[in-house]
């Protein structure tokens, strides 16, 4: 095996193509047995089309089971199609059921039934159950490739069972212990087994205070718990404490990236377009609904200015500061919004915490408002040589910055508490609301002082 070590990816690719041409399955397998699933998939995707069939043919069922989930969906279906019904069914049977469910969840129901019709009944039933859980819950991302042991086992029996299932189980760091009714009653680490005596009863050495999640727990909550406890896996139970699956840390890595992307989608109102490979018209139509809504809201700003056009016509200099005030208010709002959207990832948010945050942000708004307000008063005075204008611009900025900060804090907090999809509180929306408020305040103050201004 050691011959493979120093090869570059390019060399590996050339040898693989050569062995596919020569029919050298032994050479092929020698390299393949050293590769990680991701590398296999990378190699396969990169291969000229004419070699792909033979590549698949040369792999064992186990290797195919590793390879398929690493491909993108289109390639997955193509590969399964190339492999034929018999082999595909074997692979689907062997595939981790969370990966299978995520492959199937985005397919046409007819294709799904077609694919799983030949699977072992117990496997296909499990997949059906999994797909029925709400997306983004523990039930949807759990898998059933874990090893459970009875609390009546001895350490020796546990180790034997572990050996028997070693090929199956993904993350072996903990074994979950169940009672006679399949209820989760304990957990024992691999380490504890290693250090225990062979005749020890599991019941006596296990931890009975198990950290677990329910099938309906939100995946973001699961991620929070796994991060908190530094677990490699966490058990998932039904309402009645029956152990039904585990969630492994590799899935949590994907959850964290997905949730971060969703937060950024909220802040930027880009919809599910955060993907380099999305086609342009699809990306455009995902972003459009928001943009059109914001366009109409933007027109409200227009009609506010329309309403104040007498004021502007008298003092055209007022319009010079308009974009700056609206922009600054929008910026502070976005900053506060970011704090809230990300903060709820790591903090449990109760009323006390929320009020503390609102007051913190209020103070931030006051400090920022005072500094920027004084600064702009001085600039406006020297630029336009009008002390009243300086006062109007400065006091407007003070007030709008405080209000902007509060809008950016309070609106997402309220939505979060009401369990309304916080996507509604997207960055551009907060920006636009702040635009409108800032224009009303600015021109309101200006109109009040219009006689001194002109």
Nearer to a copy of itself, 55 or 443 (CB): 443
Please state the separation of Cα 226 from the chain's center in Å. 15
Binding pattern for the stretch 125-164 against a copy of itself, x by CB under 8 A and - elsewhere = -------------------------------------xx-
Structure-token pair, residue 253: 């890595």
How does strand 213-214 pair with strand 243-248?
unpaired
User: Any idea what DSSP says for residue 245?
Assistant: E
Binding track over 60-79 against a copy of itself, x by CB under 8 A: --------------------
Nearer to a copy of itself, 38 or 414 (CB): 38
Owner of token pair 């609102």: 358
Within 217-246, which residues bind a copy of itself (CB under 8 A)? 223, 226-232
**Closest CB to a copy of itself among residues 94, 129:** 94
Judged by CB under 8 A, the chain residues 30 through 49 that form the site for a copy of itself are 34-38
Task: Please name the helix (run of DSSP H) or strand (run of DSSP E) that holds residue 214, with its range, or none.
Answer: strand 213-214
> If binding is defined by CB under 8 A, does position 375 make contact with a copy of itself?
yes
Provide the phi-psi class of 241: left if phi over 0, else alpha when psi is between -120 and 50, else beta. Answer: left
Helices (H), 190-248: 190-195, 202-205, 219-229
Q: Indicate the residue among 24 and 343 with the shorter CB distance to a copy of itself.
A: 343
- Binds a copy of itself by CB under 8 A, chosen from 246, 368, 392, 410: 368
Burial state string for 198-224 with b = 16 or more CB within 10 A and e = fewer than 16: eebebbebbeeebebbbbebebbebbb
Residues 82-101 that bind a copy of itself (CB under 8 A): none
- Under the binding rule (CB under 8 A), the answer on residue 80 touching a copy of itself is no
Beta carbon of residue 108, minimum distance to a copy of itself (angstroms, whole number) = 26
Whole-angstrom Cα distance, residue 45 to residue 73? 12
Complex with a copy of itself: residue 112 or 231, whichever CB lies closer: 231
Binding residue for a copy of itself (CB under 8 A) from 125, 250, 350, 421? 250
Residue located via tokens 């880009």? 270
Per CB under 8 A, the list member of 103, 188, 222, 328 interacting with a copy of itself is 328
If one asks whether residue 357 binds a copy of itself (CB under 8 A), the answer comes out as: yes
Name which of residues 396 to 435 contact a copy of itself (CB under 8 A).
Answer: 427-428, 431-432, 435
Residue 241 structure tokens = 């404490």
- Can you list the pairs that 351-359 forms with residues at least 24 positions away whose Cβ atoms lie under 8 Å? 354/413, 354/417, 357/409, 357/413, 358/406, 358/409, 358/410, 358/413
CB hemisphere CA count around 416 (13 angstroms): 22
Q: How far is the CB of 20 from a copy of itself (least distance, A)?
A: 20
At its nearest, how many Å lie between a copy of itself and the CB of residue 126?
Answer: 21
Q: Is 320 in the site for a copy of itself (CB under 8 A)?
A: yes
Q: Tokens standing for 327? A: 């922009």
Provide the β-strand partners of residue 214.
Answer: 237
Among 207, 219, 213, 208, which Cα is nearest to 234's? 213
Member of 114, 125, 313, 350 binding a copy of itself (CB under 8 A): 313
Which residues from 158-217 bind a copy of itself, rule CB under 8 A?
162-163, 166-167, 171-173, 185, 190-191, 194-195, 206-211
Give the binding-site size for a copy of itself (rule: CB under 8 A): 126
């Amino acid at each position: 095996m050691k011959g493979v070590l120093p090869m570059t990816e390019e060399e590996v690719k050339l040898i693989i193509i050569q062995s596919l041409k020569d029919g050298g399955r032994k050479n092929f397998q020698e390299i393949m047995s050293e590769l990680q699933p991701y590398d296999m998939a990378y190699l396969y995707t990169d291969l000229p089309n004419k070699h792909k069939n033979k590549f698949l043919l040369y792999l064992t069922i186990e290797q195919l089971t590793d390879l398929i989930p690493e491909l993108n969906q289109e390639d997955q279906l193509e590969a399964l199609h190339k492999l034929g019904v018999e082999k595909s069914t074997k692979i689907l049977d062997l595939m981790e059921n969370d990966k299978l469910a995520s492959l199937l969840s985005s397919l046409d129901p007819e294709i799904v039934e077609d694919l799983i019709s030949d699977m072992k009944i117990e496997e296909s039933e499990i997949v059906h159950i999994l797909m029925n859980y709400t997306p983004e819950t523990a039930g949807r991302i759990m898998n059933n490739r874990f090893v459970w042991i009875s609390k009546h086992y001895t350490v020796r029996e546990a180790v034997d069972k572990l050996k028997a299932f070693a090929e199956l189980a993904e993350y072996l760091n903990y074994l979950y212990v169940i009672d006679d009714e399949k209820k989760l009653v304990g957990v024992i680490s691999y380490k504890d087994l290693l250090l225990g005596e062979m005749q020890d009863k599991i019941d006596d050495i296990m931890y009975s205070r198990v950290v677990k999640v329910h099938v309906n727990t939100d995946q973001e909550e699961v991620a929070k718990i796994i991060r908190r406890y530094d677990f490699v896996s966490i058990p998932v139970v039904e309402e009645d404490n029956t152990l039904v699956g585990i969630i492994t840390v590799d899935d949590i890595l994907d959850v964290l990236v997905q949730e971060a992307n969703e937060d950024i989608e909220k802040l930027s109102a880009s919809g599910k377009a955060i993907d380099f490979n999305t086609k342009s018209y699809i990306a455009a139509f995902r972003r459009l609904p928001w943009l059109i809504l914001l366009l109409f809201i933007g027109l409200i700003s227009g009609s506010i200015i329309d309403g104040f056009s007498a004021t502007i016509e008298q003092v055209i200099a007022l319009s010079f500061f308009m974009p700056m005030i609206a922009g600054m208010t929008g910026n502070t709002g976005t900053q506060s919004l970011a704090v809230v959207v990300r903060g709820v990832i790591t903090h449990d948010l109760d009323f006390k915490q929320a009020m503390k945050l609102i007051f913190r942000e209020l103070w931030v708004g006051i400090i920022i408002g005072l500094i920027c307000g004084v600064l702009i008063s001085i600039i406006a005075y020297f630029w336009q040589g009008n002390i009243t204008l300086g006062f109007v611009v400065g006091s407007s900025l003070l007030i709008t910055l405080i209000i902007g900060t509060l809008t950016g804090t309070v609106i997402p907090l309220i939505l979060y508490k009401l369990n309304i999809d916080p996507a509604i509180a997207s960055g551009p929306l907060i920006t636009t609301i702040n635009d409108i408020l800032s224009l009303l305040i600015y021109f309101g103050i200006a109109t009040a002082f219009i006689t001194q201004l002109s």
